[in-house]
Amino acid sequence: MAQLKWTEFGKVNLDYVLGIGGFDLERYIDLLAANKYFLEHMGANGRAFSGSSYTSMGYDTWMLNNGYHRIRQSSEVAQLPANIWLGMLLLERSKDIYRMKGLLSVQGMNERFVFQGVHDIFQGSPDRLWGPNEPRTNKIVFIGKNMDAQELEKGFKGCLL
């Protein structure tokens, strides 16, 4: 049985939420990649699509049918360019972005900055302090349609220091 966790404004230790193992996106993608039949014949909601691609551009980027895109980068981001990029992305592409989640290492912040969005709805806030030996890595996941990997990569690179 699931445990009930009382929160205020959704503030809860992310280790509690993420540590339950209910859904692991990386494990899910690995399972999809291992199941060639699924990749070749089934897509979201049972619709067919063909193939998948994997690209590596120095910081782990995955594409799966232009429906899933992950960016991982160890450099810090500048807050103002990141705000502008994410804001413009949501303004211009909100109909195509079904879901996005991220963890950013923002210059001058000792806390991790976590965010999530659905279409044009966006919420982000500082999280817990970075651990003393924890790598300050940016992680962003986009789920949607008509996503241009190069556009997302270019936009994110413009936020890096």
Contact between residue 29 and residue 61 where contact means Cβ atoms under 8 Å apart: no
Residue 23 lies in a domain: no
Digit-by-digit pLDDT tens for the chain (161 residues) are 567 777 777 777 777 666 665 656 566 666 655 554 444 544 443 333 333 333 333 223 334 444 667 888 888 999 999 999 999 998 898 888 888 898 999 999 999 999 998 888 889 999 999 999 999 999 998 888 887 888 898 999 999 99
Quickly list DSSP for 66-135: TTEEEEEE-S-B-HHHHHHHHHHHHHHHTTTEEEEEEEE-BTT-SEEEEEEEETTEEEEEEEEEPPTT--
Residue 19 lies in a domain: no
**Whole domain around residue 76: which residue ranges?**
55-157
Residues 18 and 110: their CA atoms lie apart, in Å, by 21
Residue 141 lies in a domain: yes
Residue 86 lies in a domain: yes
pTM for the whole thing? 0.61
What is the reported pLDDT for 53?
Answer: 35
CATH code of 120's domain: 3.30.1220.10
Residue 138 lies in a domain: yes
Q: How many domains does the chain have?
A: 1
Residue 110 lies in a domain: yes
Residue 35 lies in a domain: no
Residue 14 lies in a domain: no
Quickly list DSSP for 116-151: EEETTEEEEEEEEEPPTT----EEEEEEESS--HHH
Integer CA distances (angstroms), 107 to 3, 25, 73, 116, in order: 36, 27, 14, 19
